[in-house]
Amino acid sequence: MQITGSMVIGQQSVFGSAGTVKAINPATNSEFEPAFGLATNDNVEQACQLAAATFDSYRETTPEQRASFLEKIADNILGLGNTLIERAHQETGLPVARLEGERGRTMNQLRLFAKVVRDGVYVSATLDSALPERVPPRPDLRLRKIGLGPVAVFGASNFPLAFSVAGGDTASALAAGCPVVVKAHSAHLGTSELVAKAIQQAANDCGLAGVFSMLIGNGRQIGQSLVAHPAIKAVGFTGSRQGGMALVRTAAARAEPIPVYAEMSSINPVFLLPDALKTKGAAIAQGFADSLTMGAGQFCTNPGMLIALDSPELQSFIEAASAALQGKPASTMLTPGIHKAYSTGVERLNQVSGVEVLAQGQAATAPCAAQANLAVCGAKDFLSNVDLHDEVFGPSSLLIRCKDLAEMQAIAEHIEGQLTATVHATAADYAIAKSLLPTLERKAGRILFNGFPTGVEVCHAMVHGGPFPSTSDSRTTSVGASAIDRFLRPVCYQEFPAELLPTSLQDANPFGIPRVVNGELTL
Amino acid sequence: MQITGSMVIGQQSVFGSAGTVKAINPATNSEFEPAFGLATNDNVEQACQLAAATFDSYRETTPEQRASFLEKIADNILGLGNTLIERAHQETGLPVARLEGERGRTMNQLRLFAKVVRDGVYVSATLDSALPERVPPRPDLRLRKIGLGPVAVFGASNFPLAFSVAGGDTASALAAGCPVVVKAHSAHLGTSELVAKAIQQAANDCGLAGVFSMLIGNGRQIGQSLVAHPAIKAVGFTGSRQGGMALVRTAAARAEPIPVYAEMSSINPVFLLPDALKTKGAAIAQGFADSLTMGAGQFCTNPGMLIALDSPELQSFIEAASAALQGKPASTMLTPGIHKAYSTGVERLNQVSGVEVLAQGQAATAPCAAQANLAVCGAKDFLSNVDLHDEVFGPSSLLIRCKDLAEMQAIAEHIEGQLTATVHATAADYAIAKSLLPTLERKAGRILFNGFPTGVEVCHAMVHGGPFPSTSDSRTTSVGASAIDRFLRPVCYQEFPAELLPTSLQDANPFGIPRVVNGELTL
């Protein structure tokens, strides 16, 4: 497969005529070929109209048709072979092994949603029989969920495969029966084109041409036009708080406001409880340094904050974590812009009054390489200074030293909403952990014991979401089987003739899906 | 039980000190006793802080505790006896029999949510076992849903019991484990006080003091302060589009934006297909006139629009509907303000160019009585004039005469989001119905065959919701078992020690609820 600089609009490959842009290799900070054509507003219009035109037929495809389509996409992505991995490596600076792992994750996601579609739990099929003798009579009522409509997807820079063109948002929206229009992330345009063509081919092969398009735009204008377009009925986004909130505002200002699922900002506090520090502080220190620097710290779930009680054991932990961090080489970040924001953020953090730098990783020797950073401050400093609350995206973490449990509890209560919160504890710490948990449940979408938050399993029980500002909608997750729920709405059918009922609600249950019948869940 | 003009703030009865207001009897357009004290901002603060303080313990009550609490509320409301019905009748002008029926509905709702809490499906309990041998190893992951936090509820004027202080929003929020702060509707303050005290008594008896408060405020200021308060995490509202959108904007402008479930505006189109008009036009006409004028037309699901093909059968229908409507007496509306808006709305509608009045009900003889109104216009007029698209709240309906099926389809595609859409059809009409259905599914939350949309059954399969502007969030319903989903968010527990797991996620499944285990739904 050749990279041509084209967008995908349904069955068409279109070289945009609003100018060109080239990809940048962050390891060398230099542009490389080919040029990508930028979308016009007409291209946005074409992609949105096509998505709207295919919605009614796409959402009534059978579970088997939709599941096969998702599996075909996975197969086609694997079929791109090393061309995909090599291009992604050049565009993102991420190591080949990591990208191969991420490709596996991307395929697992597509296959998980194929299973979700076949299982049919997501349909929420519910039947209440008519009660003609009751006063007043009860009509026959049946509920199913259908797709919201065409979905706009904005991929993330930090997962060029798993959270991008064929990532979790696209997979779950397609599974829900929603056509998808992706705005390609400018940090991996060639990767995006390759994956978009793999999806296009799968759509053509499955007789579903038109359910997928991908646009290329510079800056924010094309993305904003996409979210403002009347045909678009929901938005999936992973990126910065500023970028996410811009889309939230555009969506809210529409004549018909639409939901935005923006996964934005999280510092992922890690609570180090006393007995855990005492009995396994060194191991925790090593695990922390590994988690912090993995992928140049560019994970939404990077452990950006540690909270611990002051003690000799904490001092030992600091020494072990510092030593581990000092051995970590600087690694290339995704884009020059992200690298610059990281450097500026670390510099600002280290200069805040009350903040002391504990350790740094090895110095950078390449243009966009990030040096890891660990700093410390007191709980009072943190509580009184909002400058310390912002996420620094990259391998930087802030240790907050508390003088007692009340301060630790105050920190937990004070932080904004998070994707994750972690507790390191032994059985001797459980009483403290128990007192923290209600607060952590209110603050985070996932709570971990004795692990690190990087590593987001793709399964049914995962929650990759959380209270604002970690996401714009805490009621959902963007990873795991429940991610499909974001793109659905319920419709009730009252006294429908059997001939006109949707298949999933027919008496014979032709799809064999779980249903709630007269209030009882039946398999 | 005595009406004292007090608010309920947890265990306290508080007579507000920010002025007083009296209830108005719309049948006589005159104030009556006693005076109600208006809330200060301090009262808002007290109620919100109390709700926040009780949230962590309330959400961890057992299903049985929460279900019993809901049932106790229902019993206490019934225990108010005729005092409640008589006061509601005086405040709203609604007939006693209707209010007795509505009280039954209110109790059914509370009991339905008691069943929902005991069933435990809403918890979405999901367990994925650890796979320590896998590379990389999978941790133990478990998901449950918990309440969003304290919920602000704004009751509706048109259902002083079923959509008010102890209505569906309150019942589903309490079921979800969320404390509730109600802003009483000014159209039925005494009714609100009686019901609030019934809830307060139930909370005290169940050891749950503090989970419920009710504030009284004049105008919008107290309501806006409530929605802006940091302790409030979601809002339930039923009322006008203008009122709902004001709350949506306030909620979006908060430092932490929160979801607003506003049920606002719906004209509930009714499609009269040709063979149905031919074979049972007279019966449909009578049913329509009954549905339109029921409760002075003050239902969210009032049939405000008819769509039909021009034909001799349509002319017969018009004659029958006109005759039926002319026999309908004017009935008292809920408030002088609602009556004035109705009169103004009908007057404006009838004067729009292209609109012709077909029939009116009997003239009003009492101050706030509404005269029914049926007008007609052509499809082209409707499509080209947005003045014809607004809801006129009350017993007014607009017939749209189409010259062909393409015009009928264009109307369906052109209307805004609706709570309901209705189709009158015989088997001979199914082909037409089938071509309309995909559009109606995109436009409405509930689609009915051969009935009228008034009458919203409280059951598992009901959807009382729909695309904007019928609601601010089409992903949900405010009536029926799924209404509880509005106030929940998922939390994932990773590698939790057994001692610290929430009961619903423990290995032994102590509550005996359905769970998804390793991807398979198990009962």
Q: Classify residue B47 as left (phi > 0), alpha (psi -120 to 50) or beta.
A: alpha
- Does domain A269-449 match CATH 3.40.309.10? yes
Looking from the CA of B140 toward its CB, the CA atoms found within 13 Å total 10
Grouping H, G, I as helix, E, B as strand and the rest as coil, residue B423 is strand
ipTM above 0.85, yes or no: yes
What is the maximal distance between C-alpha atoms in chain B? 81
Grouping H, G, I as helix, E, B as strand and the rest as coil, residue B447 is strand
- The verdict on a CB contact (< 8 Å) between B448 and A259 is no
- The verdict on a CB contact (< 8 Å) between B521 and A121 is yes
pLDDT, tens digit, 9 for 90 and up, residues A167-209: 999 999 999 999 999 999 999 999 999 999 999 999 999 999 9
Grouping H, G, I as helix, E, B as strand and the rest as coil, residue A457 is coil
pLDDT, tens digit, 9 for 90 and up, residues A92-113: 999 999 999 999 999 999 999 9
pLDDT of residue A129: 97
Element holding A404 (H helix, E strand): none
CATH topology of B12-119+138-264+474-487 equal to that of B269-449? no
Nearest CA in chain A to B115: A519
Q: Across the A/B interface, how many CB contacts are shorter than 8 Å?
A: 220
- The verdict on a CB contact (< 8 Å) between A56 and B149 is no
- The verdict on a CB contact (< 8 Å) between B460 and A490 is no
Nearest CA in chain B to A144: B461
pLDDT of residue B62: 97
Burial category of B293 from C-beta neighbours within 10 Å (exposed 0-12, middle 13-18, buried 19 and up): buried
Closest to A127 in 3D by CA, of A500, A496, A499: A496
Which entry of A102, A193, A263, A391 is annotated as an active-site residue? A263
pLDDT of residue B1: 82
pLDDT of residue B135: 87
| Contact list, A115 vs chain B (CB under 8 Å) | 519
- The verdict on a CB contact (< 8 Å) between B455 and A427 is no
Question: Mean of the pLDDT values across residues A233-240?
Answer: 97
Sign of CA dihedral A449, A452, A453, A454: negative
Identify from B144, B241, B261, B460 which residue to disrupt to test chain A contact, counting A C-beta atoms within 10 A and taking the largest count: B460
Which entry of A300, A368, A377, A402 is annotated as an active-site residue? A300
Identify from A128, A148, A492, A503 which residue to disrupt to test chain B contact, counting B C-beta atoms within 10 A and taking the largest count: A492
Phi/psi of residue A425, each to 5°? -155, 145
Sign of CA dihedral B82, B83, B87, B88: negative
Burial category of A234 from C-beta neighbours within 10 Å (exposed 0-12, middle 13-18, buried 19 and up): buried
Nearest CA in chain A to B452: A494
Looking from the CA of A141 toward its CB, the CA atoms found within 13 Å total 27
pLDDT of residue B218: 86
pLDDT of residue B188: 97
Nearest CA in chain B to A452: B494
pLDDT, tens digit, 9 for 90 and up, residues A23-43: 999 999 999 999 999 999 999
Q: Which CATH number fits domain A9-121+148-264+474-487: 3.40.605.10, 3.40.50.720, 3.40.47.10, 3.30.420.40?
A: 3.40.605.10
CB of B85 closer than 8 Å to CB of B96: yes
Task: For residues A463 and A418, give the distance between their C-alpha atoms in angstroms, rounded to a whole number.
Answer: 11
- The verdict on a CB contact (< 8 Å) between B492 and A463 is yes
Identify from A256, A413, A484, A489 which residue to disrupt to test chain B contact, counting B C-beta atoms within 10 A and taking the largest count: A489
CB of A295 closer than 8 Å to CB of A88: no
CA distance A60 to chain B (A): 10
**Helix B430-443 × helix A41-58 angle, to 10°:** 130
Nearest CA in chain B to A427: B497
- The verdict on a CB contact (< 8 Å) between A467 and B256 is yes
For B336-393, give the secondary structure using H, E and C.
Answer: HHHHHHHHHHHHHHHHCCCCEEEEECCCCCCCCEECCEEEEEEHHHHHHCHHHCCCCC
CB of A53 closer than 8 Å to CB of A39: no
CB of A313 closer than 8 Å to CB of A281: yes
Task: For residues B456 and B483, give the distance between their C-alpha atoms in angstroms, rounded to a whole number.
Answer: 14
Label residue A219 by pLDDT band (50, 70, 90): confident
Element holding B441 (H helix, E strand): helix B430-443
> How many residues does the structure list for chain A?
523
Examine the pLDDT at A303 and tell me if it is beyond 90. yes
- Identify which of B475, B494, B500 has the shortest CB distance to residue A489: B475
Closest to A504 in 3D by CA, of A519, A514, A490: A514
| Contact list, B441 vs chain A (CB under 8 Å) | 146, 491
Task: For residues A250 and A130, give the distance between their C-alpha atoms in angstroms, rounded to a whole number.
Answer: 44
- The verdict on a CB contact (< 8 Å) between A143 and B523 is no
Question: Mean of the pLDDT values across residues A251-277?
Answer: 97
CA distance A374 to chain B (A): 26
Identify from A247, A419, A460 which residue to disrupt to test chain B contact, counting B C-beta atoms within 10 A and taking the largest count: A460
pLDDT of residue A135: 87
DSSP letter (8 states) at residue B132? T
- The verdict on a CB contact (< 8 Å) between B472 and A497 is no
Grouping H, G, I as helix, E, B as strand and the rest as coil, residue B75 is helix
Closest to A334 in 3D by CA, of A167, A185, A168: A185
Task: For residues B438 and B421, give the distance between their C-alpha atoms in angstroms, rounded to a whole number.
Answer: 12
CA distance B124 to chain A (A): 9
- Does domain B12-119+138-264+474-487 match CATH 3.40.30.10? no
Q: Which residues contact A57 (CB under 8 A, 6 or more apart)?
A: none
CA distance B127 to chain A (A): 6
Grouping H, G, I as helix, E, B as strand and the rest as coil, residue A130 is coil
Task: For residues B169 and B486, give the distance between their C-alpha atoms in angstroms, rounded to a whole number.
Answer: 9
Task: For residues B505 and B511, give the distance between their C-alpha atoms in angstroms, rounded to a whole number.
Answer: 9
For A244-258, give the secondary structure using H, E and C.
Answer: HHHHHHHHHHCCCCC
Active-site residues of B, by number, are 263, 300
pLDDT of residue B249: 97
CA distances to A76, A177, A265, A439 from A168, in Å: 16, 14, 18, 29
CB of A463 closer than 8 Å to CB of B490: yes
CA distance A284 to chain B (A): 16
| Contact list, B494 vs chain A (CB under 8 Å) | 446-449, 451
pLDDT of residue A256: 96
CA distance B306 to chain A (A): 18
Per-residue pLDDT of chain B (523 residues; tens, 9 = 90+): 899 999 999 999 999 999 999 999 999 999 999 999 999 999 999 999 999 999 999 999 999 999 999 999 999 999 999 999 999 999 999 999 999 999 999 999 999 999 999 999 999 999 999 999 998 899 999 999 999 999 999 999 999 999 999 999 999 999 999 999 999 999 999 999 999 999 999 999 999 999 999 999 988 999 999 999 999 999 999 999 999 999 999 999 999 999 999 999 899 999 999 999 999 999 999 999 999 999 999 999 999 999 999 999 999 999 999 999 999 999 999 999 999 999 999 999 999 999 999 999 999 999 999 999 999 999 999 999 988 988 899 999 999 999 999 999 999 999 999 999 999 999 999 999 999 999 999 999 999 999 999 989 999 999 999 999 999 999 999 999 999 999 999 999 999 999 999 999 999 999 999 999 999 999 8
- Identify which of A252, A474, A514 has the shortest CB distance to residue B252: A252
Q: Domain limits of chain B?
A: 12-119+138-264+474-487, 269-449
DSSP letter (8 states) at residue B460? S
- The verdict on a CB contact (< 8 Å) between B491 and A444 is yes
Strand B7-9 to B12-14 pairing:
antiparallel
For tokens 């990809």, the residue is: A23
**Helix B81-92 × helix B96-119 angle, to 10°:** 120
Task: For residues B482 and B484, give the distance between their C-alpha atoms in angstroms, rounded to a whole number.
Answer: 5
CB of B300 closer than 8 Å to CB of B266: yes
Residue B138: count of CB within 10 angstroms of its CB: 17
DSSP letter (8 states) at residue A259? -
| Contact list, B434 vs chain A (CB under 8 Å) | 500
- The verdict on a CB contact (< 8 Å) between B472 and A257 is yes
Label residue A161 by pLDDT band (50, 70, 90): very high
Residue A20: count of CB within 10 angstroms of its CB: 15
- The verdict on a CB contact (< 8 Å) between A523 and B518 is no
Tell me the percentage of chain A whose pLDDT exceeds 70. Answer: 100
Burial B333-368 (b: 16+ CB within 10 A, else e): bbbeebbebbbebbeebeeeeebeebbbbeebebbb
CA distance B386 to chain A (A): 13
CB of A144 closer than 8 Å to CB of A125: yes
Closest to B446 in 3D by CA, of B479, B472, B413: B479
